[in-house]
Amino acid sequence: MGWLMVVSTIVLAFAVFVGQRFYALNHLTLANRELTRNHLPRCRLLQDIEFGAEDITILRDGLAILSTGLKYPGLPSYSDDPGKIYTLDMLDPSLTPVPLHIEGDFDQKSFNPHGISAFTDENDRSIYLFVVNHPYHESQVEIFQFLEEKNSIVHLKTIKHDLLHHVNDIVAVGTDSFYATNDRYSSHDAVGFLVTIFGLAWCDVVYYSPAKVEVVAKGFYSANGINISPDHRYLYVSDIFKHAIEVLEIQKRDLLVPVKVIKIKNIHSDQPIVRQVYADDGSVIIGSSVAARYGGKLLIGTVYQRALCCDLR
């Protein structure tokens, strides 16, 4: 009888713990938040973008590049078609997305683009496009060369590595080197679920180059978006469960030093520390994942749905 009470106590304690963790996750994901619309006066949905524009990068001349059609590993898919990459001239009043043609030896049928980043080689002005790809629920990085005059990208190489096990986003720092975020601790769904439930900050940032691949930052609950300062001195990493952006100083390519955490405080108050530019309750777009600004315009992408462009002036 004693052992039964012990087992019952353990089961009850575990059930209470799991319940508390689910409650905490619900709070962290803002699932219970009521959002008030804050629309800009001049916005338009982009044509032909129906199944998400999960990530966006904008070149110096105002040409935006969008990754579309993501089928996130482990979640329901909203389209059976392969993913695509589009370009969008932010200075063109028509704001018409144009699909990029993919050249080279590349399996386009399984193309599942996620995070993207562009790098310009200052020696010859060649532009390289880095794309996180999840073919058949795997995780890898594709490197393309962008040929703007042909509106095409040429596949150069595919990068796979054990440390790049669940890549979300990427920022290129060379023609074949980059930083990448893992938004889950493991590629195994069960392990990733348990890590999330127990609230373990085990996600990381990986630096990749042909000569070296290593984890350069740890301690993230879910490392998501990543970007770099124009002078390449600082790396910015979004931790979505922490509701924060970590700022890391790049002392060497493989040595990052935490500087500070940026938190958006009082965003719904009359005097927010960070100004809210746009907010929607799902009536126009659902699940925004990225925003990019150029030439007085704001381009907003979503994980699975539409893309929106608004005039900030």
Distance CA 18, CA 29 (A): 16
Distance CA 59, CA 281 (A): 30
List of residues 6+ apart from 71 with CB closer than 8 A: 77, 78, 79, 83, 112, 134
Residue type, 304: Y
Dihedral of alpha carbons 135, 204, 189, 197, sign: negative
Q: Is 142 annotated as a binding residue?
A: no
Distance CA 194, CA 207 (A): 26
| Annotation says 114 is catalytic | yes
Which of 39, 101, 114, 166 is catalytic? The answer is: 114
SS3 for 166-217 is: CEEEEEECCCCCEEEEECCCCCCHHHHHHHHHCCCCCEEEEEECCCCEEEEE
Helix 2-28 vs helix 189-197: crossing angle, to nearest 10: 90
Measured between alpha carbons, how far is residue 220 from residues 15, 111, 173, 192 in Å?
Answer: 25, 28, 22, 13
Measured between alpha carbons, how far is residue 286 from residues 30, 42, 300, 305 in Å?
Answer: 14, 18, 11, 6
Q: Is 168 annotated as a binding residue?
A: yes
Q: Is 54 annotated as a binding residue?
A: yes
Q: Is 214 annotated as a binding residue?
A: no
Return binding residues.
54-55, 116, 168-169, 224
Q: Which residues are catalytic?
A: 114
Return binding residues for Ca(2+).
54-55, 116, 168-169, 224
